[in-house]
Amino acid sequence: MRIVIGSDHAGFALKEQIKQYLIGLGVDIHDVGVFSEASADYPDIAREAATLIAASNGSAQGILICGTGVGVSITANRVPHIRAALASDPVTARLSRDHNNANVLCMGSRIVGIELAKGIVDAFLQTPFSGDSRHQRRIDKIEE
C-alpha cells in the first residue's frame, strides 16, 4: 500500500510526525509537501495529492493535514473519485472506511495531537471497506 501524504504550513509538524510513524511501520510514503512551515496554500497540496490518489486506481490512499482538516477535505473532495473524510477520532476514521470506502483521511493539526492522530491513522489504514451492498449503492450514487 502506498500513502500519499501532504499538508499546508499549519499541518507540517504533524505531517512529519505521522510520516515518521508510518515509515517505522514499513509503509511506502509519497510526500507531496509542504517541506517547511513557510506559508503555503492548502488547496495546492490537497489537489496534487488527490489527483495522484485518483490516478492510482485504488493502489494508493492519502493523508492530508491542515489546521482544522476542513480545507484539505473540501479541496480533495472536488477531485473525481476521491472520498476524503475528516476525522478527529478513530471511530469516525474506521467508519469512513467501512461504510464510505474513503480513500483520503483528513485531520486538523490544531484539533488532534500526535497520539490521537496515530490512533486515527491506524483505524483508517487497518479498516477495509465492508463491501456491503447498501454502502456500495450509496458510493455509486456519489460517483454519479
List active site positions.
66, 99
Cis peptide before 70 (omega within 30 of 0): no
Question: What's the full length of the chain, in residues?
Answer: 144
Which residues, in sequence order, are bridge partners of residue 3?
29, 61
Are 96 and 87 in contact by the 8 Å Cβ rule? The answer is yes
130, three cell numbers: 465492508
